[in-house]
Structure 1
Amino acid sequence: MPRTERVKGQARTMAKTIDYYFFTISPFAYLGSAELERVAQDTGARINVRPIQVKTVFQETGGVPPAQRPQPRQDYRFVELDRWSQARGLPLTKQPAHFPVPDLLSCAAIYAAEEQGGDPLRLAHAILKACWAEERDVFDRETLHAIAGETGHDADALIQTAEGRPMAQKVEQMTGEAIDRGVFGSPWYIVDGEPFWGQDRLDMVARKLD
């Protein structure tokens, strides 16, 4: 149930929120995207959609890109991708044609959707799906333009906004904020100051919200 606090003798409902930090080229963010939305709907929580840049996060927190990890870690990552794609009932290509790719524009597009009153979570899910289930290049401007239109946004206006300096600054700002809050992986959820790393922690996120 939502928390309440007493303000001048009256009870005021405290909105429940999930701060959702993720990389737009993260397979585990893709696998958890629909489940996160379900958790939010079931608990009445609002999701703050915060895409962040993987390269900056890894550089600042000691992360290593998948291809540079020791072979046993790479092998186990594929095991987990198989396991969770089956558990979630979602199609997934473990080695998509367009991965890794730069992520600034895809992050900026999601913030542009939010600024224009669109649905940033829907766009985020579509971008993740495009990379991991459809083998589309989410670095490509025309691909992102098409995805924006497919998700009900004004694609021309959204991409134009995403390519502007203010949205790039927004991505940089939110990436820095994430690092300051201890984020080092994707997906990452924060509820009432408590961090949860990984889509396999969404059941714990749900319990925290309840």
Structure 2
Amino acid sequence: MNWKSGIVMEEFLWISSLMAVSLVCWWTDSSRLDLVRNISEIEGGDYGRPGLSHVTVASSLRDGFDEVEVWLQTFGPGTRTPIHRHACEEVFVVLKGGGTLYLAAASSSDDRPGTPVGFPIGSNTTFRIPVNDVHQVWNTDEEQDLQFVVVISRPPVKVYTYQDWNTKHAEAKLMFPYHWDRNFFTP
């Protein structure tokens, strides 16, 4: 096994572990969540972002999850996330389509993200976002949707958005509760 296979296997095992934890949480607290759900019956939306389809499959606020949250997101051609960061880990499993992950390391000594590194992503790939690393995901395919499952730790997520890659960290705008959590959030 070469080092790339080892990393892929490690990512797979990490994702499998998170999914197992999610299933155990579902199983042990069935009073809050049906054991089996049809994703097409779970309310979702574009949340004011044309080209986005977001479904929260398992939610901290709606379903009582403490450790993880699971999303299904579809980005139409050209759709992208805002440039943002959050104090949680995030793992993506790409189901279809292609795009680019832009990532600026949080360890940068500068007071702003700076120039990101672009990583190609596509069907059957997985990637993770380290805690507080500024990032953005783009569907760069002109014809096909980009669809992925996202698992985040420590929900509900507090998102800091940036106007551009040169926005100072101190000037990033806090978005909390985030768009898809607003219907379930009670201060």
Q: Which structure is richer in relative contact order (CA contacts within 8 A, separation 6 or more)?
A: 1
Whichever of the two has the greater Rg, that structure is 1
Q: Which has the higher helix share?
A: 1
TM range (shorter): under 0.3
Q: Which has the higher strand share?
A: 2
